[in-house]
Each structure stands twice: as C-alpha cells, then as structure tokens.
Amino acid sequence: MDESKKFYLGILQFDLAYERVEDKSAFRSLGEAQMLFEEINGSWNTAELMHPLGRGVNFHIEVEDVEGRAAALKGRGIKLYRDVMVKEILVQDPDGDLLRFSQMISAGEGRRMSETLSCMIRTGEWKDAEAVLAIQHAVISEGEYFIAVSDEFNKTEQQQRDWIEQLLENDRETIIVAEMKGEVIGWIAFQTEKRKRLSHKGSFGLMISNKYREMGIGKKLLGALLDWAEANPLIEKVSLGVFSTNHRAISLYKKMGFVEEGRKIREYKLNDHDYLDDILMYKLV
C-alpha cells in the first residue's frame, strides 16, 4: 500500500479522497477517474491474484497534458509500456454509446514528440550567451518575422553575456532556455520598463532554432514564462508585439490566453511597396 501510495499520489498526482488505515484501504481520484485500493484483508478477495498482484487490468484515464505526465514518469526512471503514440477522437452516437477513433502516429512524429518530452526548460545563465547569440543570428538572418535585419545586428558574445546577467539581476526580468541533450535550442526573455508607472508589465522575445520548430518547444517556453510571471508579485501584465503575417505565433499566443489589444498599422516597411502591421497582445497574470 505504501508503494502504491507513492506511485499514485507522488508521481501520477492523484488526489487522496479518503484513507482508512485500519482497513488498509484508500480512495484516490484524478479528475473524473476514481479508484479504490485495498491490501489483502479478507473482505474483498474477488479473484485469484497473479504476479505482480494484478490481472492486467487496463485503466483509461483522461488528462489535460499527457506529454507532461509522460515526461514526469520518465524523469522518475519509470519505463512506459507505450510512449505517446496515438491520436484519437471521441464521439457519442445517437444511442449514447461512445465511439473512439484512434490512429497510431508515424515513427517520425513519434520521435519528435519523444524529443519534445526530453527537452529541459530552465532559467538561463551567463554561460548560455554563445548559444543564445547563435540562435539570434540564425533567426534574424531568415529575415521573416523580426524588425532587425542581419547587417544591423552586431552584438558581441560579451554584450550578450552582460545582457543575460542584467536580466537575472532584475527581479522583474528573466530569461528561460530550452535545452536538449546539452544543447540550447531556444530561449524566451522578459524585460520591463524602468519607469515606476510601467514597471508592473513587460514584454518578451522568443526564438527557437529552425530544426526544432513545430515540436511544442515554443509552447513550453511560453508556459514556463507565464508560470514565472504568475508567481512573481511584481508582474501583472505580459505583453508582446507580433508581425501580422506571423500566423503560427499568433495562434499559439491566443491558445495561451493572450488577447489582441491594438494594432499599429503599416508599422514595418519591407520595401517600397510592402508594409506589415504590428499586432499588440497581452495577458494579465
């Protein structure tokens, strides 16, 4: 019972509804899933037990973040019977029966999801300056979604290191990086205004190496930043500006709870004929 309790409450994050120590029983729940556990006590022995104290029962439990749960299990050294390998939809027929349509994802997509699960999100350090700068150079050279162009960006590694240290020394600012197999593959930095009447809010910049995009890394970085902001009593509003053509980023921001609060028309001039709007978005934390 003790090992079961550690597994379900400590690792799977079930809630303990009640526990009867004298009967060696406990009722645990996760969302709408409810499970009753009992040690052998002579009251509920309904079938022959088979090693290891079970008969291969398959429980289906719906959760909001299966990838995060898989990462937590792997982090505890627990081997998964099957990794995140299925897409599925549920629909109810006219008779009230629930139909489940499932599709095994491709091996390539499975590898990408597995890599995403192995991605570590952590607070940046000054020693990340070289990697952060390299990503910045690469993304700006793409010339698609950032104000600066390559010949305008000439920051040195020392300047980048100083910038990171300044962020980390300020209680209202931070930088968070995504690391995979020892390599920094993306980062998000949050900066605030120095003036008192604007110090309750800030904006962020987000960059990810090209080959690691469309793997959910941006969502993980932004989620980590929002967690930090919500836990920081000094921050009340997270803001951003995004090119009106960056539909993928705009979609992510909306999914993460950001709302458009304005638009700067023809804010960016690409050439003699083409202009882009700057879409302003925010989220209160």
Q: Is the pLDDT of residue 242 over 90?
A: yes
Give first-to-last CA distance, the chain, whole Å: 40
DSSP string, 50-97: -TTTS---------S-HHHHHHHHHHTTPPPSS-S-EEEEEEE-TTSP
| Cβ-contact 94, 75 below 8 angstroms | no
Q: Is the pLDDT of residue 86 over 70?
A: no
pLDDT tens, 151-186? 788 889 999 999 999 999 999 999 999 998 889 999
| Closest by CA position to 207, among listed 157, 148, 161 | 148
Q: Is the pLDDT of residue 46 over 60?
A: no
Q: Which residues contact 210 (CB under 8 A, 6 or more apart)?
A: 138, 139, 142
Q: Give the chain's largest Cα–Cα span.
A: 85
Mean pLDDT of 130-145: 89
DSSP designation for 47: S
pLDDT at 104: 65
pLDDT band at 279 (very low <50, low <70, confident <90, very high): very high
Same domain? 79 vs 151: no
Range of the domain at 33: 1-62
Q: Which residues contact 120 (CB under 8 A, 6 or more apart)?
A: 178, 179, 180
Same domain? 55 vs 104: no
Same domain? 77 vs 134: no
Same domain? 157 vs 236: yes
Same domain? 57 vs 94: no
- Count the Cβ atoms, other than its own, within 10 Å of residue 190: 24
118, 133, 159 - which closes a domain: 118
Same domain? 238 vs 248: yes
Q: How far is CA 7 from the centre of its chain?
A: 23
CATH number reported for the structural domain that contains residue 181 in this entry? 3.40.630.30
Give the residue with greater pLDDT, 60 vs 280. 280
What's the domain count of the chain? Answer: 3
Pairing of strands 201-208, 237-243: parallel
46, 62, 78 - which closes a domain: 62
Pairing of strands 275-284, 237-243: antiparallel
Same domain? 110 vs 136: no
Q: Indicate the pTM of the whole model.
A: 0.61
Same domain? 31 vs 155: no
Same domain? 141 vs 197: yes
Q: Is the pLDDT of residue 261 over 70?
A: yes
Same domain? 33 vs 137: no
Same domain? 83 vs 96: yes
